[in-house]
Amino acid sequence: MYDFQEFNNPEWKLLSQVSRPSRYCGSEWRPYKNKISWNDAKLKICLAFPDVYESGMSYYGFQIIEQLIHSMNKNFIADRVYCVWPDMEKLMLENNLLLTSIEHKKPVKDFDILAFTLPHETSYTNILTMIKLSGLPVKISDRQNINTPLIIAGGYGAYTPEILSEFIDVFCVGEAEALLPNLLLLLSAMKDYSRDEKLNEISKLPGFYVPEKFKNEIITRQYTEKLFTLNSMIVPSINIIHDRAAIELFRGCSRGCRFCQAGMVNRPVRERELNEAKESILNIINSTGWEEAGLLSLASCDYSGIENLIDELSETLNERRAKLSLPSLRMDGFSIGLAEKLEGLRSKHGGITFAPEAGTQRLRDVINKGINEEMINKCLNEIFSRGWERVKLYFMMGLPTETEEDLKAITEISYRALKLGRSLGRKRANVSVSVSGFVPKAHTPFQWERQNTISELQEKGRYIKSLNHDRALTINYHEPEQTFLEGVLSRGDKKICNVIYRAWETGARFDNWTEYFNLQRWLDAFEFCGINPDDYTRERNESENLSWDFINVGVSKEFLLRERHRAYQQKLTVDCKNGCANCGINCKTKNLP
């Protein structure tokens, strides 16, 4: 419901002076109203997303965490806050205004916990901005002996926590469903204890890295066997990036792509029951009125009941003229049956996206993609023959062992797709290609690899684009400068804390937004701190200590090394559904001989 008390928020007087003032207006539709008064709450948690409102509200995990906290029925208040755009930041500083939460309109500094989600490395300077605007000390060293909210963080960034370890009090290593209940119950019982006492007790819980209390032990990722189910969602009052109802079909991935951090750190695969998935998405559609439903996972077509689920959803979605989207599809999983199911829905009006990742079979085998030319051709044939006219393809450049032939093959596959579409009567066939620079990620078989330089990626991107001579084929590549920064931050150590602080201090904000990204500012920060960024994009020796080795995500280092060696031998590794590759996760799949 709309809360007209929000109009008393002191930020409102600034809205006429900023771009997109709707980001700060709140006035969302919420499926529940917090009945606990501010003064009676045992614990107050402010969930923080280090990007603008329309990005944060598109993040499915945020909806899970807030409702998970409310479901505990422990008199906890959960609210949210998002990063403000630089124009609003400037005005807030000039007017001495503090960052406030979305729902309760309370200063963030008045909460017991400020909990950041770490969605991507290039959002890290925004974390410092939000801490500063909350009226809190940015560095841990300045928080001693004062009463401030505990600043915690979770998400993929918590698997390489050292580069934020001077700013974050507690890192949650693993999944919210497994970590938050224990943490919140502990802190609600320790409400009147000192900051130091709280941190000391948190450090004893499994899955929590507390930099101040760390004693060189192994921090083991915690995960849940049972996924949390949403039956409604908060509906924003403005358009957001992914403006839709959504359900997570399953978590994890059995495929084992060697470049994919999400596929490694989210093992084992945990599927949602078909009836549970159906009821959840229908409940959300019915209670919110969204006109699109998203079935989310790392590879939606791998869901064992995908065709039956679409059958179950079709009648209701068609009645509501709602579109169905499957954001993550594999070309080997796109069956004739799945194509038939989707054909009857509005999904084909928005086009369809696949990620071959590499242009040649040799390189696809290196990365363990598990698809071949026959699968690609069959998939494209099904798509165009059933009425789709727009196809988007994702590739990477800079992968280990890559050659010019691999780059050339990206355009060849794209042209082949376009030609096939036209041959099947799609005169307006359109193929869009996006090429991103490969970034070696921690906890993957490629964590030891060298990352291509900016100039190498620029040269490769230009080469791929130069091979395109058809207006119906568009090819774009991600900015190599941003890829470079992501690479440095994704494999950084504690020394990078100083660089992040210096870059932020000199104006770095929203580094994932092209209009604000400034590479020179970062290069100056590295120079100021006496650090060579190339040290972080170099190839690592397999025997050297890595700054994230103390984080145990479940897959063993021996498995990752074995997979790296198999990559260079162009050997495929079995899909977990078909046998066990002995990755170190204790799951129920039978071992291969």
The better pLDDT of the pair 592, 432 is held by 432
Point out the domain boundary residue: 220, 237, 262: 220
22-26, 97-101, 271-275, 353-357: range with lowest mean pLDDT:
22-26
> Does some domain include residue 37?
yes
Q: How deeply is 379 buried, as exposed, middle or buried, from its count of CB atoms within 10 A (0-12, 13-18, 19+)?
A: buried
Give per-residue pLDDT as tens, 287-308.
999 989 999 999 888 999 999 9
> Does some domain include residue 489?
no
3-state secondary structure 521-565: HHHHHHHHCCCCHHHHCCCCCCCCCCCCCCEECCCCHHHHHHHHH
211 and 299 both lie in a single domain:
no
Q: Tell me what the mean pLDDT of segment 5-10 comes to.
A: 54
> Does some domain include residue 155?
yes
- Looking at residue 331, its pLDDT comes to 87
> Does some domain include residue 451?
yes
Q: How far apart are CA 25 and CA 20, in angstroms?
A: 10
Give per-residue pLDDT as tens, 464-492.
999 999 999 999 999 999 999 999 999 99
- Is the pLDDT reported for residue 2 higher than 60? no
Give per-residue pLDDT as tens, 224-251.
999 999 999 999 989 999 999 999 999 9
Phi-psi domain of 99 (left: phi exceeds 0; alpha: psi -120 through 50; beta: other): beta
> Does some domain include residue 128?
yes
Confidence of residue 4 (pLDDT cuts 50, 70, 90): very low
107 and 179 both lie in a single domain:
yes
Task: State which residues form the domain around 59.
Answer: 4-220
Residues 268/252, Cβ–Cβ less than 8 Å: yes
- Looking at residue 7, its pLDDT comes to 46
Q: Across the strands, what pairs with 323? A: 292
Confidence of residue 6 (pLDDT cuts 50, 70, 90): very low
52-56, 132-136, 347-351, 384-388: range with lowest mean pLDDT:
347-351
263 and 163 both lie in a single domain:
no
Q: What is the CATH number of the domain that holds 318?
A: 3.20.20.70
Placement of tokens 């598109």 in the chain: 58
> Does some domain include residue 590?
no
251 and 333 both lie in a single domain:
yes
Count of the separate structural domains present in the chain: 2
Handedness of CA 236, 240, 244, 249 (dihedral sign): negative
Rg (CA), the chain: 24
Two tokens at 260? 């994919």
Note the pTM of the prediction, 2 decimals: 0.95
Confidence of residue 588 (pLDDT cuts 50, 70, 90): low
Q: What is the CATH number of the domain that holds 130?
A: 3.40.50.280
Confidence of residue 502 (pLDDT cuts 50, 70, 90): very high
405 and 344 both lie in a single domain:
yes
58 and 166 both lie in a single domain:
yes
- Looking at residue 592, its pLDDT comes to 34
Residues 110/122, Cβ–Cβ less than 8 Å: no
- Looking at residue 501, its pLDDT comes to 98
Q: How far apart are CA 266 and CA 270, in angstroms?
A: 9
The better pLDDT of the pair 289, 35 is held by 289
> Does some domain include residue 71?
yes
The better pLDDT of the pair 309, 586 is held by 309
Q: How far apart are CA 31 and CA 45, in angstroms?
A: 19
Percent of the chain with pLDDT over 90: 80
Percent of the chain with pLDDT over 70: 95
Q: How far apart are CA 179 and CA 205, in angstroms?
A: 9
Residues 103/114, Cβ–Cβ less than 8 Å: no
- Looking at residue 250, its pLDDT comes to 96
331 and 372 both lie in a single domain:
yes
Q: Tell me what the mean pLDDT of segment 522-549 comes to.
A: 98
- Looking at residue 342, its pLDDT comes to 77
Confidence of residue 332 (pLDDT cuts 50, 70, 90): confident
- Looking at residue 347, its pLDDT comes to 56
Residues 500/160, Cβ–Cβ less than 8 Å: no
